[in-house]
Amino acid sequence: MMDDVTAIGIAEGFIANEGPEHEIKAWQHLIDTGLCWQLQGWFGRTARHLIDIGACHERKETVEPEACRPQSW
């Protein structure tokens, strides 16, 4: 499992990655957590580029389980 600090480190290059798939996994983590949109601008621009070329995908929205939805009376 990828954590935030490791993903940022791989993206910035101060933590070595284990190959292209590992780097993409780090970027996907930053996209899934939304961190890439909160950090310096190049994170968001790079994430958008990776999504546009199909290397990463947009963050999947989570759907609340039926039991967690508010009940309408």
Q: What is the pLDDT of residues 32-49, one digit of tens each?
A: 999 999 999 999 999 999
Q: Is residue 72 in some structural domain?
A: no
Q: Is residue 73 in some structural domain?
A: no
Q: Per the structure, how many domains does the chain have?
A: 1
Q: Between 13 and 62, whose confidence is greater?
A: 13
Mean pLDDT of 4-31: 96
Mean pLDDT of 39-62: 94
pTM for the model stands at 0.80
Please compute Rg for the chain using Cα positions: 15
Q: Is residue 21 in some structural domain?
A: yes
In the chain, the N- to C-terminal Cα span, in Å, equals: 41
Q: Is residue 65 in some structural domain?
A: no
pLDDT of residue 61: 72
Residue keyed to tokens 């989570």? 62
Q: Is residue 16 in some structural domain?
A: yes
In terms of residue numbers, what domain contains 13? Answer: 4-52
Q: Is residue 43 in some structural domain?
A: yes
Q: Is residue 67 in some structural domain?
A: no
Q: What is the mean pLDDT of the chain?
A: 89
10 close to 22: Cβ distance less than 8 angstroms: yes
67: pLDDT strictly greater than 60: no
How many other C-beta atoms lie within 10 A of the C-beta of residue 16?
Answer: 8
Q: How many angstroms separate the CA atoms of 30 and 47, rounded?
A: 8
Q: Is residue 63 in some structural domain?
A: no
